[in-house]
Structure 1
């Protein structure tokens, strides 16, 4: 698969047309309207977009990298490169670093979030991505595993279909791109509400964000989350909980959480992270 397109040298960092972080619940439409992927492409600059694809979460990175490469090429992106990092040394590759220094958008694919963090956390490549995202210089998207890594704390695995309990969820360190959120993906599709509640019971200072398949929570530079796609985004706000027995129970014993606030947002609804306010779509 070719991994360089335009031979034009980029001398200055291009600016994305709209800096945003797109956190996608997985299984986004890749065939028909492709609304979520189109939105990322537009945020990255549309026909001027210079996109880097990171398929490191996948155990078939060449295959999944090729798939997204073709999607963004068909949309008309100016340049696309698959940053196929398969070991920690790849996170120091000078060609990859140069590309990220000049790109307008980074897309992280699905797979295994522990694999993604194990390969890229604290590498020069990922540190540069995070730096440019925080400087609002590039658009960033992550789907499925690429969504799970967005917070400082990350849901690394677990079960579903049970009451909230400590054994239901495995936590690990994420990439800290949006440090105050704790993301779960494939949310209602895999019955993961209890899993997110179990995680939030241990980290009530974080905002739980559960994202359905073919659904996106798009974070803009004004600290608003806006919902795109066909499903819902579930917000779990534990700032005002009055009681939890999380520290007293063990294993699969049920967890109590009192005075928890929960919002279910659909297409067009927004949530402001500063004021913790929900804004309904007009």
Structure 2
């Protein structure tokens, strides 16, 4: 019996293995159609888009992909070009590189290109992956920047509107590697109707079409669930005051663990 690989959305915490087993990138390659894939690369978050797109092109070519296209967009007018529709149509996978998520959204938010990518990804017509900044933009709400290493407070996190590929979540990346727990908790007190995902480096949350995600990679996906929160002082304090948040749900998910976003619960794994 052959296994059918369905399209998926991959939020990668950054610094994914590009040299050895390449597990996460190989998963993206397989979910995009393997050697039959046509992969579009969006390097707009990077200040050196030629170098970063070239590196990913080489990785996918080495895996056996013969058809890659780079969407090197440097200004808003380019992103609004309707011709992107014909370029994106044959793509079976789209990969968004790292860099600066604010730059990425500034160039691509509300453009025909990103609207088509979002629609096709949500319909399961393509596999979409974003690493680092490319993962930060996954939700409707986005962590645009902020600090680490201090108590949770509103000034610790800058929020903005993301690209809305998986609108229910707010993603923070390089998570434990850069000590960002306080930042994500601060964000969740401001957006209690969303689900917070802190994704470590070389780690991925792979979203299936059924509203669940699975963890792959070397680290942990930290889930901060504010749906169980019974109290926060967030509306009543100044930006620099310490936050209180009672009853937050917290899960640490490692390789193979699965989580149901809609019902906010761990799913059984086949171990």
Q: Residue 153 of structure 1 contacts residue 174 of structure 1 at CA under 8 Å; is this kept in 2?
A: yes
The answer to whether residue 144 in structure 2 is matched with residue 147 in structure 1 is no
Secondary structure, counterpart of 1:210 in structure 2: strand
Query: Aligned residue pairs: how many?
Result: 267
Secondary structure, counterpart of 1:247 in structure 2: helix
- 1:113 aligns with 101
Using the alignment, how far apart are the partners of 2:267 and 2:140 within structure 1?
26
Match of 1:177 among 165, 187, 201: 165
- TM (normalized to structure 2)? 0.96
- CA deviations over 1:31-76 (Å, ceiling 9, x no partner): 0000000000000000110000000000000010100010001001
The answer to whether residue 190 in structure 2 is matched with residue 211 in structure 1 is no
The answer to whether residue 1 in structure 2 is matched with residue 35 in structure 1 is no
- CA deviations over 1:76-102 (Å, ceiling 9, x no partner): 113101110111122134553212111
Q: Residue 268 of structure 1 contacts residue 280 of structure 1 at CA under 8 Å; is this kept in 2?
A: no
Q: Unaligned stretches of 5+ in structure 1?
A: 1-15
1:70-85 pair list within 5 angstroms: 70-85=58-73
Q: Residue 12 of structure 2 contacts residue 173 of structure 2 at CA under 8 Å; is this kept in 1?
A: yes
Using the alignment, how far apart are the partners of 1:97 and 1:103 within structure 2?
10
Q: Residue 41 of structure 2 contacts residue 97 of structure 2 at CA under 8 Å; is this kept in 1?
A: yes
Using the alignment, how far apart are the partners of 1:280 and 1:144 within structure 2?
28
- 2:176 aligns with 188
Q: Residue 91 of structure 1 contacts residue 120 of structure 1 at CA under 8 Å; is this kept in 2?
A: yes
Q: Residue 122 of structure 2 contacts residue 209 of structure 2 at CA under 8 Å; is this kept in 1?
A: no
Q: Residue 82 of structure 2 contacts residue 112 of structure 2 at CA under 8 Å; is this kept in 1?
A: no
- TM (normalized to structure 1)? 0.92
Using the alignment, how far apart are the partners of 1:93 and 1:61 within structure 2?
19
The 4+ residue runs of structure 1 with deviation greater than 4 A are none
Q: Unaligned stretches of 5+ in structure 2?
A: none
Q: Residue 155 of structure 1 contacts residue 170 of structure 1 at CA under 8 Å; is this kept in 2?
A: yes
Cα-Cα RMSD: 1.2
